[in-house]
Amino acid sequence: MSDEVTAEILTTHILDLAKSGKRLDGRGMDEYREVKVEFGFAGNADGSALASIGKTKALCGVKLEVGKPFPDTPNAGVLTTNAELIPLSSPLFEPGPPHPRAIEVSRVVDRSIRAAETIDLAKLSITPGEKSWVCYVDVHVLDHSGNIIDTAQLAALGALTHTTVPNKRFGIAESDAPFEVHHFPVECTFVRLGDAIVADPAFDEERAAQGRITVATDEAGNVVAMQKGLIGAFSPDDVKDVAERAFRHGDRMRAVARG
């Protein structure tokens, strides 16, 4: 109960601060926390990246396996993205089957990668109809301090850009080859605090938020995915504004994820 009361007081404080253009951690309304990506963290993965935005951390490991293509896409490989909100990363997360919140993170991250055509699935085909590469992108959120979606997505992009195709392990070719990444989508998330819309929400800002919006952009100037979440609403002009901001932040974050 006391936790609820503290949360309530904090929410009021965050909303009051936002009215005068201020944030709890002293950031500007459109300012991200420090964005970092460290590559090759998980040595047994075919590609991995540990992304952090402020104190929020997510680790992505990519594993490639040889499997069967889906019957309806015999000439293409398979890409599967999954994000786990493991109980280690926050008191909010519990063990058990995935919570709708985790499913949303997985699907929003997956959508940006798929829609941007980051990977050319046709190139993952080995023998049409029989053998293809199956690319598993698994993200573990390790420390939840707000803005899980951007952190998880950045980890996924970082891992994909640093993946090696394990040809030798599966007897496909004599030597391993770099994994081809064609596009570089990055997601940027914003939340509404009263009339203000702030970038990269911290944990307590997310709890105070009156709506969340994520925009994925690619390097060619396209919006490739969006998701509005939480309780709250945005006008079409808000959405256009947030998309502009997502392009600006996205270009900088893309550079970090490409290493």
Binding residues among 171-230 for other proteins as defined by CB under 8 A:
211, 213, 218, 221-230
Cα torsion 88, 94, 96, 102 to 10°: value is -80
**Cα–Cα distance measured from residue 49 to residue 155, given in angstroms and rounded to the nearest whole number:** 5
**Cα–Cα distance measured from residue 124 to residue 77, given in angstroms and rounded to the nearest whole number:** 5
- Residue number with CB closer to other proteins (18 or 50): 18
Tell me the CA distances in angstroms from 228 to 3, 40, 46, 81, 182, one per residue in order: 27, 32, 33, 20, 27
81 makes contact with other proteins (CB under 8 A):
no
Among 34, 72, 174, 195, binds other proteins (CB under 8 A): 72
Q: Give, to the nearest 10 degrees, the angle between helix 148-161 and helix 236-258.
A: 40
94 makes contact with other proteins (CB under 8 A):
no
Segment contacting other proteins (CB under 8 A): 15-23, 98-106, 150-158, 250-258? 98-106
- Residue number with CB closer to other proteins (36 or 123): 123
Segment contacting other proteins (CB under 8 A): 18-26, 52-60, 151-159, 243-251? 243-251
Segment contacting other proteins (CB under 8 A): 37-45, 53-61, 74-82, 141-149? 74-82
What is the Rg, in whole angstroms, of the alpha carbon atoms belonging to the chain?
19
Q: Which two tokens stand for residue 116?
A: 């941007």
Binding site for other proteins (CB under 8 A): 72-76, 100-101, 103-104, 106-107, 111, 114-115, 121-122, 211, 213, 218, 221-236, 238-240, 243-244, 247
